[in-house]
Structure 1
Amino acid sequence: DYLAAYMWFHLGEMKGDRAAKRNREFVEKKITPEEVIRANKLVGEWMRRYVGL
């Protein structure tokens, strides 16, 4: 599931994980621009739910 992978790698990247950044960039090449938008929305939803942002 590329959308879930993108979300988790993006969250890891936000914490400074360089491997997560590379992996997110790899996944981003595998999905459409529309899917990137959806995946970023998942990141925002996760942050609001579990971090309170």
Structure 2
Amino acid sequence: MARMDVFPRQMLEYASQGEQSDAFFELGLSYCTGRDGTVDLIQAHKWFNIAASRGNVEAKRHRSELSSDMSKAEVIRAQKLAREWLASAH
């Protein structure tokens, strides 16, 4: 899938249409690079984590690399946010 230049809200709409892991991966990239605003590593890690849980292998690699640039507290916060999001999505 080619990268899409859309806003996070649009990516969530795309995810609801079935291409979840790719859409969540794109959200991670968006927050990681600041493509749609400010860089937010916690949100990036959260979305990479969610994408990885949906089987996206690239998300696993990005999440791992991103973790090395984050404090332990930031990683814990991102993981908590991912768990909360996953729990509310069902």
Structure with more contact order per residue of length (Cα contacts < 8 Å, sep ≥ 6): 1
Which segments of 5 or more consecutive residues in structure 2 lack a partner in the other structure? 1-39
Equivalent pairs: percent with the same residue? Answer: 35
- Pair member with larger Rg: 2
Rounded to whole Å, the distance in 1 between the matches of 2:77 and 2:47 is: 13
* TM-score, reference length from structure 1: 0.88
* TM-score, reference length from structure 2: 0.54
What value does the CA root-mean-square deviation take over the aligned residues?
Answer: 0.7
From the two aligned structures, give the one with the greater helix fraction.
1
Q: Any idea what the Cα deviations from partners look like across 1:1-53, whole Å, max 9, x if unmatched? A: 000000000011111111000010011011001111111110111011112xx
Residue identity opposite 1:10 in structure 2: N
